[in-house]
Amino acid sequence: MSGETEGDVSGWTVDTLHAHVARRLTDLDRLLNERKAAQETALSAALVGQEKAVDKALTAINERLYVLNELRGDVATKTALEALEKELAALTSRLDRTEGRGAGLNAGWVYLLAGIAAIGTVVSIFLAMRGGA
């Protein structure tokens, strides 16, 4: 006896129930395997996309660093040129003062010698007038 009444027979037996559950488990297993394969494919595609994005970002960063290094070099060069220009201006100023001082000393010697010559001339005239009188 299966517990069913003759008037209400469902047709389910242990064997049919077992076959039904086994079929459902097989279908579920197939569905899970398909989903797993789809997720693995999606994950692989996402990882490839991420790797490409990282590569692009690294390339962009390297380009920016290269430009920054060039800019830093230009700034260092400009700073060095400005320092050299200041040093050149200071040396030019010192040279101008030295030349001005030298020209002043030369003029002083000229005036001194002219003064000595003038005194010598006056003394000569004085002696010539004194001796001739």
pTM: 0.43
Tell me how long the chain is.
133
C-alpha–C-alpha distance, residues 50 and 115, integer Å: 96
Q: State pLDDT tens for residues 60-100.
A: 999 999 999 998 888 888 888 888 888 888 888 888 777 77
- Is the predicted pLDDT of residue 28 greater than 90, yes or no? yes
Please state, for a pLDDT cut of 90, what percent of the chain lies above it. Answer: 44
Query: 133 pLDDT band (50/70/90 cuts)?
Result: low
- Residue written as token pair 């001194």: 112
Q: Are 31 and 20 in contact (CB under 8 A)?
A: no
DSSP state of 67: H
Pairwise CA distance, residues 22 & 10, whole Å: 19
